């Protein structure tokens, strides 16, 4: 699980990341709001920790900006401001939780785990959900998410993506794709598969540093974070 921390106190930032990493999280630390927003453009995280009083863009404005394009990734505000008006402002900007400094790291861990459990689908629903790194494919609802953001696909794009995902990293040939996605309804000598692979790459991979859709030259395509 990847966490991105916005905290300009260098000592606290280092201690928090060390604590989180000792509890099986990865933690990247950023010291100002402007750099933080640049960081999340091409990187995906499961949770954000935001201090309010940081340089360039404050944590509340960062929270509001995140929520303009990402409604689901949990956000916890960590701040020395403890007035109810400060908390109200944070929750009005759709933060999920608010922790007043100084706090015990163990309490922060409890709140992080609680939010992440809440975000996870139920055990029964999990049978119809495929996860590959930060990509989530909900086969029942025919919805796709990456980095917490929903991606709109056409029916054929969704069917192609789901078929690649179900192969669990194995390479599938163009012939196999046509049989399962198009059911022989077009000439396999056409470039339809290549065209749809390019459609998916633009929607699934273009805005992310980590590419998931790969070509194995002469063999076919596979979906993998490696």
pLDDT of residue 122: 47
Report residue 118: phi and psi, to 5°: -65, -35
Neighbours of 29 (CB within 10 A): 19
According to the model, what pLDDT value does residue 189 have?
A: 59
62: containing domain: 2-119
Residues 134 and 110 in one domain: no
Write out residues in the chain with pLDDT < 50, as ranges.
Answer: 122-125
Residue 145 CA from chain centroid, whole number: 8
**Looking at residue 112, what is its pLDDT?**
93
- Among 93, 119, 145, the domain-final residue is 119
For residue 183, the model assigns a pLDDT of 67
Q: Which of 68, 94, 119 is the last residue of a domain?
A: 119
Number of H helices, E strands in the chain: 8, 11
Q: How far is 89 from 105, CA to CA, in rounded Å?
A: 24
**Is 2 within 8 Å of 28 (Cβ atoms)?**
yes
Taking the CA atoms of residue 23, residue 137, residue 176 and residue 196 in that order, the dihedral angle to the nearest 10 degrees is -120
> Is the same domain home to 100 and 140?
no
Q: pLDDT tens-digit profile of 74-103?
A: 999 999 999 999 999 999 999 999 999 999
Q: For residue 142, what pLDDT is reported?
A: 86
Residues 115 and 143 in one domain: no
Specify whether 100 is located in the same domain as 157.
no
The one-character DSSP state at 181 is I
- Give CA separation, 161 vs 27, 175, 177, 214, in Å: 30, 15, 10, 12
Task: Give the whole-angstrom CA distance, residue 163 versus residue 176.
Answer: 10
**The domain boundary residue, chosen from 63, 85, 119:** 119
CATH code where residue 100 lies? 3.40.50.2300
> In 10 A of CB 203, how many CB atoms?
18
């Amino acid at each position: 699980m990847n966490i991105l921390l916005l905290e300009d106190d260098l000592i606290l930032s280092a201690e928090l990341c060390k604590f989180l990493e000792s509890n099986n999280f990865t933690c990247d630390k950023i010291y100002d709001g402007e750099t933080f927003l640049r960081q999340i453009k091409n990187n995906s995280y499961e949770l954000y920790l935001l201090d309010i009083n940081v340089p360039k863009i404050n944590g509340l404005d960062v929270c509001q900006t995140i929520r303009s394009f990402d409604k689901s990734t949990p956000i916890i505000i960590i701040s020395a401001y403890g007035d109810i008006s400060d908390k109200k402002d944070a929750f009005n900007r759709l933060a999920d939780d608010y922790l007043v400094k100084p706090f015990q790291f163990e309490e922060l861990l409890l709140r992080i785990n609680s939010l992440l459990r809440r975000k996870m689908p139920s055990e029964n629903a999990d049978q119809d959900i495929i996860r590959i790194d930060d990509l989530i494919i909900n086969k029942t609802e025919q919805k796709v998410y990456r980095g917490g953001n929903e991606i709109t696909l056409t029916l054929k794009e969704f069917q192609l993506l789901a078929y690649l995902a179900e192969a669990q990293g194995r390479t599938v040939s163009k012939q196999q794709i046509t049989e399962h996605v198009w059911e022989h309804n077009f000439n396999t000598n056409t470039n339809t598969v290549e065209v749809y692979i390019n459609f998916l790459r633009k929607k699934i991979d273009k805005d992310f540093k980590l590419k998931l859709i790969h070509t194995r030259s002469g063999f076919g395509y596979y979906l993998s974070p490696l």
